[in-house]
Each structure stands twice: as C-alpha cells, then as structure tokens.
C-alpha cells in the first residue's frame, strides 16, 4: 500500500500538461464575465452555478460529455477572449506546478463571428507568450481538427499548423467522437504535418476500441496518443506501442466521466506504467472535469497506488514527450530533476 501523499507535495512536483483543451479549461468567472460582455446567455447566474453546470457528472458517453463545450465556445469568438483564456489557463497551470504546457484547440470552432483561422492561432499564442513573460511558464499550442469534419478541412488545419510551426505551434491533433469517424479518413492531413516536420498526436481509444488506436498509430503515424484507454484490448498493438515508446497522454478523471474507464481503480494507467510504457498525467478539461493536475496525481496515488518515486517518473515522462526541441527538453528535464531531488530531501 502506498503512502498517501499531500496535495502540497504533489503541487510542488514539477510537471507538464500535454493534453489540455483551451475550450475545456475556462475559469467559470471568466466564462460568466465574457458572456455578460458579449450578451450571451449561459446556464448560470453566478460563477458557482456555472461551475456546477459545466462539471459533467454521470455522462452516458463521450458525446454527452462533449456537448458542454458549446457553452465555452460561444464566448470564444473574439481574439481578446481567446487570448485572455489562454493566458489565464497558463497562470492556473503554473499554480498547479506545471512548468511546461501544451494547449490544444480546434480554431475552426472560433470563426463564427468573423475571426480568421490565423487570427485564432495568433490570439492563443499571444496569451501563452504573455504568460511566459509574466510567469515563466513555457506554453505551446496544438492545432486540432475534429473527426466529424471533412478530411479537406483537416488538411487545411494541418496546413495552418505548419504555417505557425516555430511560431508557437508545436503539433497537429485530431479530436472528437470516435465512433463512426475513423482517424484514417484524415490521414492526408497527418501526412502533410509529418512531411513538414511537425509532430502529431491523435485522440484514440477513448470513445472506441483498440482499433481506433491502431489507426492513430499506423494510418496517422502518431507521435503520441491522447487517452489510449482501450489500447489493452489489442495485446500485440499494446506491445508495439510499448516497444516504440509512443507516449500515452493519460486523463484519469475525464476517462471515468465518459465511461472510457469504469472507475479510477479500473483505469489501465497502472498497468501501462508497470509495462514500461511512456505515460504522462493530464487534466484534459479542467472546467468540465472540475480537476487540476495536482488532483490527477492525487488520484493516481490514492486510487492506483502510485508512490512518490513512481509519480516523479511519470512527471519526467511528460518532459521527455514534450513537442519541443530535444535540447530544450533536456534543460527542462534537468531543472525538474533538480527540483525533485530537493523535494525528496524536504519531504523525506
């Protein structure tokens, strides 16, 4: 039985956040403020009511979980709103012990009131850059497409991501409901990103079985897998992913919410770690899951028996899997290992 770790210790642990949706991580106070300024009706008269509504509890499926996003997207149609939300997310992440953050979003959802796709990206990057200047947290943006969109739109979004490569964008991604929307349909977009030396990650194995992960790995050539919860249904594919150290972006709470895992205890994260897979912990959506990264580490400790030493390895995995140049990763890893050594002495 592992020792129960304090929130203070887990918060101080230097961490990455590699799987975090911009439109799923808006502060309730900001959501209410933006809605009032834009004269948009939201389901709550105050921040607490709005927080309660946006916290998804008892969703029957991934699709039901995703329905809440329409509320946040409705206020994310101006450059100022997008920049503010990105900036505040980075600030919140830093308070959570995150020193490197990757934020993802589908810009195609933010052009309803006149913004162009490049303007959406520029606003997000401005927010992250401002946070880096003000707080010291390094932030990058992952341009995301959606499975239910046409492959042509995904290709346009991949081209957008490549256009901003080295200007705040670090990768291309595919999200959305998996059932009936195979990743293979979007293979051309992923080929474009890879052929232009841009990293790629794919949501897979969350709302559908191991076959979804297989397409992400073999048809889209993913460098990382978002969720991958049902990967274990295919033993050979699991071994393939393990052998090649394709990183898995684990999101415990949201997986329980969407029924990808029946409970924290039933989540395959522990087995993945014990097999030697490259796994990191992430929030997915801080608002809809009512969680922080410290909470996710606490769940791993309390529900899955992870020790502090094991969680430090998970944290370092995150830095090793970051979509930034290897030299920068090594610097972040060295800084994290130094802080971890200090924490071990302090809390011994």
Closest alpha carbon to 47 in 29, 35, 30 = 29
What b/e readout covers 61-100, taking b as 16+ CB neighbours within 10 angstroms? ebeebbebbebbbbbbbbbebbbbbbbbbbbbbbebbbbb
Catalytic residue among 122, 206, 249, 296: 206
- Distance, CA of 211 to chain centre: 21
List all residues 6 or more positions away from 18 whose beta carbon is below 8 Å from its beta carbon. Answer: 102, 224, 247, 249, 280, 282, 318, 321, 322
For residue 343, what are its two tokens?
A: 């924490």
Helix residue spans in the chain (DSSP H): 7-12, 28-37, 47-54, 62-66, 69-75, 79-95, 117-135, 151-163, 187-195, 210-218, 235-243, 252-257, 269-274, 293-304, 308-320, 326-346
Q: Which helix (H) or strand (E) holds 104?
A: strand 98-105
Alpha helix locations (H) across 13-61?
28-37, 47-54
- Give the whole-angstrom CA distance, residue 265 versus residue 252: 10
End-to-end CA distance of the chain: 18
Radius of gyration of the chain (CA): 19
- Tokens found for residue 216: 């992400």
Beta bridge partners of 76: none
139's CB contacts (< 8 A; 6+ apart) are 86, 90, 100, 101, 102, 103, 128, 129, 131, 132
Count other Cβ atoms within 10 Å, centred on residue 37. 12
* Residue 214 a catalytic site member: no
Calpha distance 144→347 (Å, rounded): 40
Q: Which residues are catalytic?
A: 206
């Amino acid at each position: 039985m592992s020792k129960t770790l304090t929130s203070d210790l887990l918060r101080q642990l230097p961490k990455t956040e590699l799987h975090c949706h911009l439109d799923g991580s808006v502060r309730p106070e900001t959501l209410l403020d933006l809605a009032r300024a834009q004269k948009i009706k939201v389901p709550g008269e105050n921040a607490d009511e709005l927080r309660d509504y946006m916290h998804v509890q008892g969703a029957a499926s991934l699709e039901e979980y995703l329905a809440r996003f329409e509320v946040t997207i409705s206020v994310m149609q101006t450059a100022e709103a997008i920049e503010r939300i990105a900036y505040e997310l980075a600030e919140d992440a830093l308070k959570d012990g995150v020193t490197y953050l990757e934020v993802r979003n589908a810009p195609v959802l933010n052009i309803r009131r006149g913004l162009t796709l490049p303007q959406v990206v520029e606003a997000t990057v401005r927010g992250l850059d401002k946070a880096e200047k003000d707080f010291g947290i390094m932030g990058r943006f992952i341009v995301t497409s959606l499975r239910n969109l046409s492959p042509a739109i995904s290709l346009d979004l991949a081209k957008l991501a490549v256009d901003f490569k080295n200007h705040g964008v670090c990768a291309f991604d595919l999200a959305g409901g998996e059932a009936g929307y195979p990743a293979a349909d979007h293979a051309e977009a992923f080929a474009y990103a890879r052929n232009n030396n841009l990293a790629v990650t794919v949501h897979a194995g969350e709302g559908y079985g191991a076959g979804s992960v297989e397409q992400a790995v073999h048809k889209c050539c993913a460098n990382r897998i978002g969720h991958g919860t049902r990967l274990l249904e295919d033993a050979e594919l699991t071994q393939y992913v393990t052998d090649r150290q394709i990183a898995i972006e684990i999101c415990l709470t949201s997986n329980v919410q969407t029924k990808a895992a029946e409970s924290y205890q039933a989540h395959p994260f522990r087995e993945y770690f014990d097999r030697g897979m490259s796994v990191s912990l992430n929030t997915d959506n801080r608002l809809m899951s009512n969680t922080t990264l410290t909470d996710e580490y606490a769940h791993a400790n309390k529900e899955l028996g992870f020790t502090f030493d094991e969680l430090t390895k998970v944290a370092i995995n995150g830095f090793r899997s970051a979509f930034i140049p290897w030299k920068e990763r090594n610097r972040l890893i060295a800084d994290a290992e130094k802080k971890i050594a200090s924490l071990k002495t302090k809390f011994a």
